[in-house]
A = this chain, B = another copy of it.
């Protein structure tokens, strides 16, 4: 016992426990894997804990609006599934997900332009983040390169970094990933002897920037990746949420052999069911799904059956149309509030779908310390530095309009504006 080393002293039980723990902690420090040191707290999740404080306006989390969901019908569906199919719903299922859900997923994908996908090529995953985790697991050795957009989804960065990959950012402009930059970056990395395995992209309404890869760039990006034998990992949770209702064809659409496509029920239905999917090139499928199985055995049968049955009973196409209108209205509320409240030195993106607006302040301003001032003012956002793999400070911030009603959005922007204005003035005066 650790306490034994201190002789002639009476120790309280609490002190003894604390001492024992300190000794164990010291002893166990050497046991962590190298990759464990790369696993960081996501800034988004960090702010998630803060943002549920009452009274705060959260422009932080990329939460879908659930207020339009008919809870009674969801409840009825869950009850029916359990009563009528309880022995299946409460049991283990296959590692790929149920056939019925995989068929539904193919219908959903057809709606956004992936035609003729086979349920046999779909793996249902525990949210689409776990599809990214599996992709990294199956393809990346430590030191391999994953190309990402700059900026990109913080959760994917955390997932990749857990596999000790080298994450390399490729620049975007208002039309998304810049093909010339992609080529230049690949050439540089190949010249340096690097092995590039994946290009991770969120082509529609990128998280955090809201930027969309232009239709005319999409095939070019896949072609570049193919020429260099790089797999495209396409993350498309917001694809169906284009405000005008006409989703752009995903990169996967005409490239079944070169793109792993990740979709999710989180933004079009509910994050609480934790169901996403990957549509995997057939020749890569077996390894992909075995890796999924090695982590979770199977996705939740209960939530799979509930989602399948709900989508069968519910006019989800009409619901998506309503959702798009809700998000378009919220986006408009945010854009007009920004125009009314923010100083002229700030600029921002004008997304045509998705959940986010990306604000740029004058260079040299670090938005991270502003977060604390914003919390004091009653509003939260995510500082831009979260969305890059570098440790550089960022003059950008992500504002999510998706989960908050228009009047709250206006209130949040109003609270944030003085914080931003002060930072701009101090910076100009410095």
Contacts and interface: CB of A to CB of B under 8 A. Distances in A.
Interface of A: 20-21, 24-25, 27-28, 30-36, 39-42, 45, 48-49, 61, 63, 66-67, 69, 71-72, 74-76, 78-80, 82-83, 86-95, 126-127, 129-130, 133, 137-141, 144, 155, 158-159, 162, 197, 229, 231, 257-258, 266, 270-274, 281-284, 287, 290-291, 293-303, 306
A25 B274 contact: no
A294 B133 contact: yes
A45, A76, A294, A303: most-surrounded residue (chain B CB, <10 A) = A294
Nearest first, the 7 A-B pairs at minimum CB distance are A25-B283, A24-B257, A90-B270, A272-B301, A75-B82, A71-B86, A90-B272
Q: How many copies does the complex hold?
A: 2
25 contacts: A25-B283, A28-B229, A28-B231, A28-B281, A31-B139, A31-B229, A33-B139, A39-B291, A39-B294, A45-B95, A66-B90, A66-B91, A69-B86, A74-B82, A75-B82, A88-B272, A90-B271, A91-B272, A92-B271, A126-B300, A129-B296, A159-B294, A273-B302, A274-B301, A295-B295
A162 B49 CA distance: 33
B138 A32 contact: yes
Nearest to A76: B79
Nearest to A283: B25
Contact of A74 (B61, B90, B92, B287): B90
Nearest to A290: B39
B75 A139 contact: no
Contacts of A301: 271-272, 274
A127 B296 contact: yes
B63 A71 contact: no
Contacts of A86: 66, 69, 71, 74-75
A21 B89 CA distance: 36
A299 B126 CA distance: 8
Nearest to A156: B294
Contact of A21 (B138, B139, B282, B298): B282
A37 B316 CA distance: 40
Contacts of A306: 302
